A = this chain, B = another copy of it.
Amino acid sequence: MKTRDNKPRQRFPVESLRLKRSGTVAIFRQLEEQLRDAIWQGRLKPGERLPSTRQLASELGIARNTVVSAYEQLSVEGFIHTHKGSGTSVAKNFPPPLKNIPVTRDKTLTNTSEDTSVFAHHLQHLTPIERLIPNKDSLPLRPFRPHTPACDQFPRHIWTQLTTRRLRKMPRSWLERHSPAGNKHLREAIAGYLGASRNMLTSPEEVFVTAGVQQAIILLAKLLINPGDTVCVEDPGYTPATVVFQLAGAKVVPIPVDQHGLNVDFLANRIKQAKLIYVTPANQYPLGVSLHQTRRKALAQWASQCGALIIEDDYNGEYQYRGRPLTTLHTTADSGQVIYLGSFSKLLFPALRIGYMIVPSTFIKPLSTLRWLVDRHSPPLEQAVLADFINQGHFARHLRRMRTLYATRQASLVSAAKKYLNDVISIEAKDSGLHLIGWLAGGVDEKALLFSAQKAAIDLLPLSEFDLQSNQKPGLILGYAPFEPEAIETSAKKLRDTFAACSR
């Protein structure tokens, strides 16, 4: 290559172009990129003339069409102008480079604590949330991780069959926009199921499909809460709900929970006005107790008196091992008082991000607007497959199987804990749920125990992470649902051994 000093009006430094003939990037694109950068960075000045395509091709020893292609794209993008007769030049009016602003990459945004919002910063320090989030494609599943069903028991072949069938006869309209309230068939299937199995009087027009319970809570918070509104929550309780209410500007009041569930006397004595109360009556999160019937009645009366809405999160409500699932508050209380939340994530598999809420039909329209603003709607194919899964009886059948299985596995946990960890924790069988609380025995150092568990590759989630103001006695949330009895036994023994070794 040689410079073109003999042409004064065109000072373009062709020698600055570096084309790699052996690379993966096409020559025309390399040329285009380098010219673009030179113009953007001000090395080629506004109005400056460029060599003709013929000249440049010859100097670079490349095909003329390659230069034509690069010039064409740069022209479409407005970097250069080609005028018949007067040749090609850099677009005029390109702003000159700023002084004192170094042109370096990745200088902004590197320190997230400076750039992000107070809320995001705060959120990063919520440990119970952090440790629940998989940072790889999936978390290793090991005892005693709570809040997880037995995915290996899910009838995947049926799900696959139903999906394939739906896919084959999917009408074109499925590819288009869908109702934010949910697929018609799924709304019907849910209302039907709740009527038949849970004794709930509801209609498809009251079912609003969501991407799980968490999204239902977010939508309700947006729909209902004005800044300063009082929202009562359980303490200890489901922290991710509390965070959502706080984010909506609510004044969140923690109400203590004891062995009969929410302390409604405490509630009724302290709180005379509230917008909402969020409860998990079937299987309190995280204590696992169910809300006593007399307290349910008192709660409904309190809500009537102070005009509060009850959000009933039926957490683990289907996992009842004695008798049938408990009657919901939605059924017993005045129906206008209670919004019912259900999820399929823990009943079928966690990756299925579909839940729902039962709301007064007048709420469907504003909730649809909100959902549309948030993420439009849930995936239509998954919704339809789930509807088929429910309607063909697979759902009820799977739940029945899981109830039997989980009851057995709970018994394994209790017996393993009594056998190996009797000095460390005390544990009691329950009629429901996917986990039990292991209360720490007197004198056991929680930190040392957690450290031992980490060493032994065992998941122990301390109860204290879900405390708001209450100081529960120390305990552990022990999941059993996805683990074989042998794994439960082995892990209990390993925890005992490691803890003993560490304590020595």
Chain A residues in contact with chain B, CB under 8 A?
Answer: 29, 33, 36-37, 40, 46, 72-73, 75-79, 91-95, 98, 101, 103-112, 115-120, 123-124, 126, 129-130, 132-139, 141, 148, 151-152, 154, 156, 159-160, 163-164, 167-168, 170, 172-181, 183-184, 199, 211-212, 214-215, 218, 222-226, 240, 243-244, 290, 292-294, 297-298, 301, 304-305, 307, 309, 320, 322-324, 326-327, 332, 334-337, 349-353, 360, 362-363, 365-366, 368-370, 372-382, 431
Contact = CB atoms under 8 A, between A and B. Distances in A.
Contacts of A163: 163-164, 167
A108 to B, nearest CB: 4
Contacts of A377: 351, 353
A465 to B, nearest CB: 15
A138 B36 contact: no
Contacts of A94: 293-294, 297
A289 to B, nearest CB: 11
**10 closest pairs, A vs B, by CB?**
A175-B349, A78-B293, A76-B323, A151-B175, A211-B375, A108-B336, A106-B336, A160-B167, A109-B360, A138-B173
A129 B105 CA distance: 38
A222 B133 CA distance: 18
Given A117-B226, A124-B369, A163-B164, 10 more contacts: A72-B323, A106-B336, A108-B334, A108-B336, A129-B369, A133-B369, A160-B164, A160-B168, A163-B167, A240-B373
A305 B101 contact: yes
Contact of A351 (B103, B112, B177, B226): B177
A120 B332 contact: no
A170 B138 CA distance: 13
Given A33-B199, A91-B293, A374-B218, A360 B223 contact: no
A240 to B, nearest CB: 6
13 contacts: A46-B294, A75-B323, A78-B294, A105-B335, A108-B309, A108-B336, A109-B360, A109-B362, A116-B224, A151-B173, A152-B172, A154-B175, A175-B351
A251 to B, nearest CB: 14
A304 B108 CA distance: 9
Interface centre among A101, A120, A136, A301 (most CB of B within 10 A): A120
Contacts of A244: 373
A273 to B, nearest CB: 14
A195 B468 CA distance: 47
B176 A212 contact: no
Contacts of A324: 73, 76
Interface centre among A119, A126, A337 (most CB of B within 10 A): A119
Nearest to A147: B177
Contact of A176 (B36, B91, B148, B179): B148
Contacts of A110: 336, 360, 362
A181 B135 CA distance: 8
Contacts of A159: 167
B379 A379 contact: yes
A178 to B, nearest CB: 6
Contact of A337 (B33, B75, B108): B108
